[in-house]
Each structure stands twice: as C-alpha cells, then as structure tokens.
Amino acid sequence: MFLRYFRLQESMDRFLTKLESVYTSSGGKKITLISHSMGGLLVKCFMCLHSDIFEKYVKSWITIATPFQGAPGYITTALLNGCSFVEGWEQNFFISKWSMQQLLIECPSIYELMASPTFSWENNPLLQIWRGKHDGSSKLSTLLESYSLTEMLPLMKEALSSNMVEVDGEKIHLPLNLEILKWANETRDILSRAKIPATVKFYNVYGTHNDTPHNVCYGTEHTPISDLKELLSAQPKYIYVNGDGTVPVESAKADGLEAVARVGVAADHRGIICDRHVFRILKHWLKAGEPDPFYNPLNDYVILPTAFEVEKHCEKGMQVTTLKEDWQVISPDTDASDTAATDNLAMLGAISVASVAMEQPHASAQATILVHPQSEGMKHLEVRASGVTMGA
C-alpha cells in the first residue's frame, strides 16, 4: 500500500473494478464500504475524482482510524529514521530500521500521510531540535529550536541531502523526494474539496485514549545536534496527544465531510478493527440482526425503561397529571471506578415551571430527577413529575 499513490489511475481503476464486481454480485444492490486507516484516504480520493460513480454504487461509507490530516509524529520520524513502523514490530520484519527508512523515503503514500500544513491544528505539530553552537570563546551553547510544518521541510531536505543507499555495490542517492512531495500536496488539495454525495451516508470511527506521537524532538540539552545530518542516526523523542497510538484524534475527526455520526472508541490503531464496541456500533448503523432501539452508539450505552406510569385525575376544579418513569443506563465498561462510585451519594435535581396569564388557563409543573450511584456498569435514574392545570 505504501508504494502507491492514492490517486494513481491504476489504483482508481482497481478500486472501480472491485465496486462493480460487488455491485453486480449483490444483484444491483448498493454497497456499504468499510475502510480502515489509509484505505479511508483511498476511498475519499476516489469519491472526489469520481463522485457520480461513487454515488451509483455506494449506499453508505464507514471509515475507521483514518488519518485525514496526516500522522505528524510517525511520518516525520519515518522519513528521517525509518523506525516508526518497526518499533514494537521488530519480530515481524526481516530488515533493519535503516533499510526500512530507505524504503519509506521513496514511498508515495508516506508523503501523502505527512501532516497537512493548511489544516487549522489545535495543537500545531512541531519538529524540535536541540542545537549546539560555539560562541566566540569556543564554549558550546545549546538552544531548543522549534519548527512548524512549513519550516521543518527545508531542515528535512538538508538532513537527507547526502542520504545514500548501496545496491549491488552501487551507491544510489536518496534525498527527500520533492517530486513525490509535490504530488502529495496536490492530492491533499484534491481531498480538501471532497463532498459526500447526497444519497450516501458517511460515518467516522476513530481511536482514543492512546498516547500518540505528535511533536518530535531530536538531541538533548547535554547532547545537542550540531549537524542536521545527525538527525538520521539520532533517537527521536515524542510529545504525545490523544489518539489511537498512530493517528491523533484531531486528525482522524477532521474528515471535512458531512457525517451522520463521528464516534470515538478507546482502542489503538490496529486493535480498533476488532474491538467489540466497534462491532456493536457497526451492527447498529448497518441494522444487522435484531434492532436495539435503546442503544446509543455515540456514547456506547443502552438505556432501558424499567417503569412508566401516567395518572390523570380532577381535583377541586384542577386537572392533575403525575408521571413516574425509571430508566436503567447500562454501560459496557465496568472497572474499579464503579465500586468507588457506590460510596457516593445519589444526585438529585429538580425544576418547577408556572404559567400565569390573563384569559389563559393557569398551569404549573414540577419534576425531580434522582440519579443513583453507578454499580456494576449500571446507573439507575428516577424521574418524577406532576402538572396542574386550572381553568382549562
């Protein structure tokens, strides 16, 4: 996947062939697409370039953990060090991290996953370098310098300017590939103009609660970087943000499309595709199996009514209505915090409303809501309300 451009005609043609094949096999029924990670960018690119064809074949599109605005921390270090896609997966690779870096530097999709410099980041991705400089007395001074997305490109270009790889005894120059970078920027511009066709429903699921690399720092105060070419062998350190461990929440949520729903799930980038909460959400959206009218996928809980009583009667010229309603909120997550919650007091809220106007019936109402402490993943709610109308 890394070796291809998202919008290469060959990729678009192969994707179209798949759509036509599935559409035909299903007897002409529209398709529900489910994509993961870079697959979501491929789908978005096809949709943007071939909107009419996309609308013809697709009923709904659900994307999971897609880096719509890039994966800043990982991609920066992938180009400079190649270690990001090896860390934690060493046993699955038969090449060194340096060989991985030499492969990634010529991979079009890696450039297309660079953080978008035109996106309004809440947390701006930075490249930070401890630089060492000698003053007039030959004393080494250190300074932490920070570079924005546009400022870091000249530094990466310089760091990779002498990058070489040896193949069959021949040395090949492998600098930062500016032609691929230009193509990636054009792709990003195309993706920014994408719109969901009116008949297609779009859903976005993204991972949360994982430390996700965002800013990258090289060198230390005591071991600064004196030559940018040292970055290729330096060990990066990260400043993390919330995400799935690879893609920041901020990037995954920023699809730029009109979505039916966007839901965050506490899962990592690879694990999210087999997470039980995600399957439950997909089942609800796809209306697969028995319907669950009380399930709320936005918060992943079930609300079950356990009691409902309404009583009306007249008393001394007044019409009185009373309501009693009980709900059980069931959350799939149970942990130690549930036990601690049982020690807390129940929460009570109340509201009263009255209406008095000339030539209009006098009406008043009041309601109380009692929320009991959570226990074993369940929270009990009691609603009590009464209304009185005079002169109706």
Residues taking part in catalysis: 37, 244, 269
- DSSP 8-state code for residue 375: B
DSSP string, 299-345: TTEEEEEEEEEEEEEEETTEEEEEEEEEEEEE-S---HHHHHHTTSP
- C-alpha dihedral, 289 to 54 to 17 to 188, nearest 10°: -110
Pair of tokens at residue 118: 């035109």
Distance CA 277, CA 265 (A): 7
Percentages of the chain per state (helix, strand, coil), in multiples of 5: 30, 35, 35
136-145 CB contacts, 8 Å cutoff, 24+ apart: 140/224, 142/221, 142/222, 142/224, 144/217, 144/221
User: Residues 53, 16: contact at Cβ < 8 Å?
Assistant: yes
Distances (CA, A) of 230 to 85, 156, 215: 20, 11, 18
Q: Which residues of 171-200 are buried (b: 16+ CB within 10 A; e: fewer)?
A: eeebebbeebbebbbebbeebeebebeeeb
Pair of tokens at residue 45: 């690119």
Pair of tokens at residue 193: 């103009």
